[in-house]
Structure 1
Amino acid sequence: MSQKKTVTVLGATGSVGTNTVELLGYHAEKFEVYGLTANSNAEKLAEQAIKLKARKAVIADQGKLAELRERLKGHNIEALAGEQALLELASEKVDWTMAAIAGFAGLDSLFAAVQRGGHIAIANKEPLVAAGHLLKTAAGKCSAVLLPVDSEHNAVFQCLETENKSSLSKITLTASGGPFLSWSYEEMRKATPEQAVAHPNWSMGQKISVDSATLMNKALEVIEAVIFFDLSPEQIDVVVHPQSLIHAFVSYSDGSVLTHMGPADMKVPILHALSYPQRLGTCTEELDIQKLSSLTFQAVDADKFPALNLAYRALEMGQGGCLALNAANEVAVRNFLEEKVLFTDIVDICTKILDMYEGPSQIQSVEMCRQTDERVRKLTESYIIDTYISQSAAI
């Protein structure tokens, strides 16, 4: 019997984390779960840890430690809390780590996992956008294997796996177009948070669902692709594909185009990363090619969805510009979800922050990354208060 692969899931109670936990349970004979983490959902974390017989469960919110310990009583699972405990767990040696803590908040734990080595599945694109070059350098020094979990980048990864990259011409990422693909700009101005998070194809968390609706998710994915695959911005295209069945095209110099097709289910790229370089059986419904009626594609309407162009602008500005775009977007999306700004304000805010950004073009260290991110967030909050919230209060 082959030895079980040891696994830690950072961000186990989120959308990607929950799918990962389900897959680990389905293939329980192949994996030993070392640790699971969550931000504040002690009930769900305890349920997952008990189900998977994890050794450790870490909750970032120290105020939830007592509840977590009570729920784990009698199960021989160590319960810990706080950011330091989370970083220590991420640093402990395992074969495979899922980095699924949403947003820039996942940066430190991702770095800790990378510096430890092993296979690191990256589901949270924001640290790659903000500090991708630092992460790749650290991975090279520590013999860590970075595996993309974003469906589009996982698709590219699979198409590139056996090909000579020097013959690569370009890659094309697909975008569903989100819930507002057929809406007018005026209709989008009135969009509610509930409408923005109702994605037609994918089941995702709130923040990434809003990003999909603005197409900022695709903008961040363009940056991620440039960094992850060492490509130039000119080698990355985006096309709208409402069915979300083809996830990427990889074009080569001889005119050949390889494409990756699969159901709109995050378990598919997660399972690929989890089992890499082998492949395990799926627990999801397989794609029935004979039942497909049509696959359609269309160009991105840059006037209605200007977020995509911000990716190329940020890349021209350097890593600092990419960091600034990510930070501004996280703040703007949170304000939209709190109903302080309109849906269409999100990209306007990000555009203005790139105009105002005076930070470094290149990020030289993790500490510089944190400091720059904090400054941009404060700048964005101030801009939103002055431009939107104060004016609304005056009216």
Structure 2
Amino acid sequence: MKKKKLGKIKVFNNYNSFNDIFKKKVDYTMSSITGIHGLEPTIQIIKHTKKIAIANKEAIICGWHLIKKNLKRFKTTFIPIDSEHFSIFYALQGNKIQNIDKIYLTASGGPLNNIPKERFRNIKISEVIKHPNWKMGKKISVDSATMMNKVFEIMEAKKIFNLNYDQLDILVHPTSYVHAIIKFKDGMIKIVAHDTNMKIPIFNSLHENKNKIIKTDQLNIKKLNFLNLKKVDTGKFPSIKMLKRLQNNESLLETIIVLANDELVNLFLLKKLNFTDINTHLQKLINMKNFINLIKQKPGNVKSIINLNKLVRTKINKIIN
């Protein structure tokens, strides 16, 4: 197989050399490293870029207080790149956060939306990672199947847009055509829809307010006429109940949930857990005495988050073994 020439594209694989690589601010950076490993490079790159588009959920949930501080310090513009959060960002242009009554994020229901709950215990990994609408990696496909991915997106939206948790909700929408619904206090409602193609939010984040054109499909009237929006069945997807435990004040709870889920999904993919064990063990962990005490603390620096990640993974493996 012939290697493709990258032309003038330079590839670097060590983010510890950012100060040597970047002599002046670049125009645009996208942070899309998966998992908690994306936190430190995301924070470090902010001072080297005029605009940063972040697709890393873990960085936003675990380190938003650090990201926000650096954005302000280095006068860097931030754009969320997940389709749901970009849709909210897009809809809020010309509107103030204070005018928001409620925001609804949509969820496809994932690979298991039409599979009965009774089958979940012994369901195959191949079924869990087969998303009906998006081509995604195994980890995020499992999160979509448990709907923990949507719990994370609520956490992100709360932080990014400085909202309270009671201003956010989830609606199941199997075709993923609508990405966000924003209800304003003046009674107006904005519905943001686009094809299931991440090129659209990425393109718009690159060419914000520049009137550039991207070729997309025609308006899908069939999908608009059959949105099939409904509330999440929390009996079938118990991870959604986790939202009731979240409080508006900053705490380590969100971070612990993210870190624990990451390890549990990894163990499921290694066939060391059943699918339903992911939520069971997550609940068990956050109810442990030493973690209840940790939850009361506020998020710290990158080093403390990395150390917490090690502690969480160690505890989970002890619980399982």
- Fold agreement, TM-score > 0.5: yes
Cα displacement (A) at 1:87? 8.1
Match of 1:319, SS state, is: coil
Alpha carbons of structure 1 residues 87 and 104: separation in structure 2 relative to 1, 3 Å: farther
Q: Which residue is equivalent to 1:374? A: 310
Moved more, 233-242 or 317-326: 317-326
For 1:347 and 1:87, locate their aligned partners in 2 and report how far apart those are by CA, in whole Å.
41
* C-alpha contact (below 8 Å) 1:178/1:212 kept by paired residues: yes
**2:282 counterpart of 1:328:** no
Moved more, 229-238 or 82-91: 82-91
For 1:359 and 1:367, locate their aligned partners in 2 and report how far apart those are by CA, in whole Å.
16
* C-alpha contact (below 8 Å) 2:25/2:47 kept by paired residues: no
* C-alpha contact (below 8 Å) 1:87/1:112 kept by paired residues: no
Match of 1:353 among 279, 285, 293: 285
For 1:231 and 1:86, locate their aligned partners in 2 and report how far apart those are by CA, in whole Å.
33
State how 1:222-261 maps to structure 2 within 5 Å: 222-261=154-193
Structure 2 letter corresponding to 1:149: I
Provide TM-score, normalisation by structure 2: 0.91
For 2:199 and 2:103, locate their aligned partners in 1 and report how far apart those are by CA, in whole Å.
23
Q: Which residue is equivalent to 1:6? A: none
Structure 2 letter corresponding to 1:51: L
Q: Structure 2 unaligned runs (5+)?
A: none
**2:213 counterpart of 1:286:** no
Structure 1 letter corresponding to 2:306: R
Cα displacement (A) at 1:381? 2.4
**2:300 counterpart of 1:364:** yes
Match of 2:306, SS state, is: helix
Match of 1:146, SS state, is: strand
For 2:268 and 2:81, locate their aligned partners in 1 and report how far apart those are by CA, in whole Å.
27
For 1:208 and 1:93, locate their aligned partners in 2 and report how far apart those are by CA, in whole Å.
32
Match of 2:12, SS state, is: strand
* C-alpha contact (below 8 Å) 1:174/1:247 kept by paired residues: yes
Match of 1:98, SS state, is: strand
* C-alpha contact (below 8 Å) 1:328/1:350 kept by paired residues: yes
* C-alpha contact (below 8 Å) 1:87/1:108 kept by paired residues: no
For 2:136 and 2:59, locate their aligned partners in 1 and report how far apart those are by CA, in whole Å.
18
Match of 1:201 among 133, 153, 156: 133
* C-alpha contact (below 8 Å) 2:43/2:66 kept by paired residues: no
Cα displacement (A) at 1:374? 2.1
Aligned residues: 316
For 2:241 and 2:66, locate their aligned partners in 1 and report how far apart those are by CA, in whole Å.
24
* C-alpha contact (below 8 Å) 2:165/2:246 kept by paired residues: no
Q: Which residue is equivalent to 2:196? A: 264
Structure 2 letter corresponding to 1:58: F
Q: Which residue is equivalent to 1:306? A: 238
Name the one with the larger strand percent: 1
* C-alpha contact (below 8 Å) 2:29/2:49 kept by paired residues: no
Cα displacement (A) at 1:319? 3.2
For 1:343 and 1:363, locate their aligned partners in 2 and report how far apart those are by CA, in whole Å.
29
Alpha carbons of structure 1 residues 90 and 269: separation in structure 2 relative to 1, 3 Å: farther
Cα displacement (A) at 1:172? 0.5
Q: Which residue is equivalent to 1:181? A: 113
Alpha carbons of structure 1 residues 277 and 380: separation in structure 2 relative to 1, 3 Å: farther
* C-alpha contact (below 8 Å) 2:102/2:167 kept by paired residues: yes
Alpha carbons of structure 1 residues 275 and 166: separation in structure 2 relative to 1, 3 Å: same
For 1:170 and 1:327, locate their aligned partners in 2 and report how far apart those are by CA, in whole Å.
28
For 1:331 and 1:87, locate their aligned partners in 2 and report how far apart those are by CA, in whole Å.
32
Alpha carbons of structure 1 residues 317 and 325: separation in structure 2 relative to 1, 3 Å: farther
Match of 1:226, SS state, is: helix
Cα deviation digits, residues 341-387 of structure 1 (max 9, x gap)? 01111111221221121325201322222222222222222222x2x
State how 1:1-395 maps to structure 2 within 5 Å: 47=4, 50-51=5-6, 53-54=8-9, 56-59=10-13, 82=14, 84-85=16-17, 93-283=25-215, 285-292=216-223, 294-315=226-247, 318-356=250-288, 357=291, 358-359=293-294, 361-384=297-320, 386=321
For 1:203 and 1:262, locate their aligned partners in 2 and report how far apart those are by CA, in whole Å.
16
Cα deviation digits, residues 161-188 of structure 1 (max 9, x gap)? 1112221111100000001112222211
For 2:79 and 2:131, locate their aligned partners in 1 and report how far apart those are by CA, in whole Å.
25
Alpha carbons of structure 1 residues 255 and 371: separation in structure 2 relative to 1, 3 Å: same
Match of 2:29, SS state, is: strand
Alpha carbons of structure 1 residues 90 and 321: separation in structure 2 relative to 1, 3 Å: farther
Structure 2 letter corresponding to 1:298: K
Structure 1 letter corresponding to 2:11: A
